[in-house]
Amino acid sequence: MQNLEQFQALLSTPKRVVITTHHKPDADALGSSLGLAGYLKQYNHQVTVITPTDYPTFLNWMEGNNEVVVFTNTGMETKAAELVADADIIFCLDFSSLDRINQLGELVRASSAKKVLIDHHRNPEDFAQFVEWDVEAAATAQLIYRLLCAMGDREKITPAIADCLYAGIMTDTGSFRHSNTSKEVHLVVAELIDLGANVNRVSQLIYDNGSLDRLRFMGYALSERLEVLPQYSTAYIAISAEDLMRFQIKTGDTEGLVNYALSIEGVCFAALITEREDGVKLSLRSVGDFSVSDLASKHFNGGGHKNAAGGRSDKSFTETLAYFESLLPQYQSLLDTTNQLQNAHV
């Protein structure tokens, strides 16, 4: 952070703090938020984490989860709006533009609070007075760790905070497998373990805590809904609203599914296209230099990272599938090159 001294001065007396994060928070979004909240509370700041929507139940173990204000929960909108309007400082974690937090975005923009952006997504919007942004960072949790250390507060990271931050780094690196798994990631994680993160417990709570319905749904999606287009080195899984209903799919149940499509030999680009209540959602993954963030921002009002991005479509589900397929020919040569480079590495 460039103006770290000013930031520290701001935090030197107790403040009303709101921490918010993106739509459908994942482990990095919620872990960073609750980790930071746990830290700030030690300095007697009055801290509330507000999420724009609900999030998967496999994140409920995080310390502070019970106090999270979920904007879309009944009766919470007014409370959240008041907290945002009255805040002295608003932290925006793990998203780079205010449209990622739905109606909360305009409330945050209108608040006179000082804004702090801590994030690792591409194309950050210029709305914050304090910024800890690094597109090279694997996770926002890594940036929280970096910031706390820069403020000389490594020792304030309790085992519960370390668990939250570890969860964010573990999931955003795909369990230390994605191309964002740097030396710094391993060094930070080693420090978090030193500070009390329980690696085995966190991974069980996140990965081994699903319902039977979810597992059966995964099997169904892979056997019935996976389309492979070898000529484009592409695979996609299309899930209709009816599919979601049939398996009683809840928030978070589809997480990880898109990676199976990417695991097929020769596939460089994978998509999960889901017919949700609020429109069609796309979850995109790639390998090498093929940027799904560019593709998402160009065609699906979205963005994210080079190899992991998301977006949405206002077309119908079937129209979206046709549109998605119709885009592939223009990416043919990029996909061919990516595929060749991947093979060259084998």
305 binds, among ligand 5GP, Mn ion, none (CB under 5 to 8 A by kind): ligand 5GP
Give the other-Cβ count within 10 Å of 10's Cβ: 16
Among 18, 21, 50, 94, the residue binding Mn ion under the rule CB under 5 A is 94
Least distance CB 139 / Mn ion (angstroms): 5
Binding residues among 265-284 for ligand 5GP as defined by CB under 6 A:
283
Residue nearest to ligand 5GP (CB): 310
**Alpha carbon 12 to chain centroid, angstroms:** 30
Is 311 an interacting residue with respect to ligand 5GP (CB under 6 A)? yes
> CB under 8 Å to 45, separation ≥6 — which residues?
11, 14, 15, 16, 17
Least distance CB 48 / ligand 5GP (angstroms): 22
Which ranges of 225-256 does DSSP label H, i.e. alpha helix? 241-246
Residue 227 CA to residue 236 CA, distance in Å, equals 5
Residue 91 CA to residue 48 CA, distance in Å, equals 10
The angle, 0 to 180 degrees and rounded to 10, between the axes of the packed helices 183-194 and 159-172 is 160
Binding residues among 83-122 for ligand 5GP as defined by CB under 6 A:
100, 121
Least distance CB 310 / ligand 5GP (angstroms): 2
Query: For the purposes of burial, counting CB atoms within 10 Å of the CB of 156, is it exposed (0-12), middle (13-18) or buried (19 or more)?
Result: middle
Nearest CB to ligand 5GP, comparing residues 288 and 310: 310
Size of the site for ligand 5GP (CB under 6 A): 13
Stretch that binds ligand 5GP, among 46-54, 157-165, 195-203, 304-312 (CB under 6 A): 304-312
Query: For the purposes of burial, counting CB atoms within 10 Å of the CB of 198, is it exposed (0-12), middle (13-18) or buried (19 or more)?
Result: middle
114 binds, among ligand 5GP, Mn ion, none (CB under 5 to 8 A by kind): none
Residue 54 CA to residue 69 CA, distance in Å, equals 9
Is 306 an interacting residue with respect to ligand 5GP (CB under 6 A)? no
| SS3 assignment, position 75 | coil
Among 28, 88, 132, 255, the residue binding Mn ion under the rule CB under 5 A is 28
**Closest by CA position to 259, among listed 271, 250, 251, 247:** 271
Residue 43 CA to residue 36 CA, distance in Å, equals 12
Is 243 an interacting residue with respect to Mn ion (CB under 5 A)? no
25 binds, among ligand 5GP, Mn ion, none (CB under 5 to 8 A by kind): none
Least distance CB 255 / Mn ion (angstroms): 13
Least distance CB 283 / ligand 5GP (angstroms): 3
Residue carrying structure tokens 């060749």: 340
Among 143, 303, 321, 338, the residue binding ligand 5GP under the rule CB under 6 A is 303
Size of the site for Mn ion (CB under 5 A): 5
**Residues engaged in binding Mn ion (CB under 5 A):** 28, 94, 139-140, 172
Binding site for ligand 5GP (CB under 6 A): 22, 100, 121, 283, 302-305, 308-312
